[in-house]
Amino acid sequence: MAGLFEPARHGGASLTLDAVEASILRSLTVQMLELLGPEDEPDEDADPLARLFAEGPSKPPADPALARLFPDAYGEGDDAAEHSAEFRRYTENDLRTRKRDDALALVRGIDGGSSGRKGRVVLHLKAEDCRHWLGALNDLRLTLGTRLDVSDDPEEAEALYRLPDEDPRKPLMMAYLWLGGLQETLLDVLMGN
């Protein structure tokens, strides 16, 4: 079946996408990379130790999708905002780099896939690639879920699942559900189910 992960013969996972699926997945990932923004280029003359301990932002992102990808580390409480700012300052740059690396691995995987029958893209992922793909798929779902305002409320979720075809959110919802299927089947492969 096209569009779902399967165990690969020599470990890792394989995935066969039709041309439209590959294009959609690549496009969504490139859009997420644009949302994440470019990586800060370190000053070549800077002290390597100083670059290692460079401080990141201390305020949460204004964009709701980015705020979901980079949530506050501490919940409610007297000192929560201060602790969250300090935690963010020392972790967000590395987390952002990891998310970029995951997304780039997904794009490179699609671009490097072999051509199969009927224009399909056949991918064979090693275990390390699977971890990158799993991270990128999770980030894509979090981003789309935020844009769609997916919540834990069963009635609201049911309404999103039953969007009429003319609703402009319908393609995003279909992509959200498909990404969930990809994520679930990749997890199954990695767990040996």
pLDDT in tens, 113-140: 888 778 889 999 999 999 999 999 999 9
pLDDT given for residue 103 in this prediction:
98
Residue 20 confidence class, pLDDT cut points 50, 70, 90: very high
Mean of pLDDT values over 55-78: 86
Share of the chain above pLDDT 90, in %: 59
Tens of pLDDT, residues 52-61? 566 777 788 9
Q: Which two tokens mark 170?
A: 């319908």
Mean of pLDDT values over 7-28: 93
pLDDT given for residue 54 in this prediction:
67
Q: d(Cα 186, Cα 14) in Å, to the nearest integer?
A: 9
Residue 42 confidence class, pLDDT cut points 50, 70, 90: low
pLDDT given for residue 98 in this prediction:
96
Its pTM stands at: 0.88
Mean of pLDDT values over 146-155: 90
pLDDT given for residue 41 in this prediction:
59
Q: d(Cα 148, Cα 150) in Å, to the nearest integer?
A: 5
Q: Over 60: is that where the pLDDT of 187 sits?
A: yes
pLDDT given for residue 11 in this prediction:
86
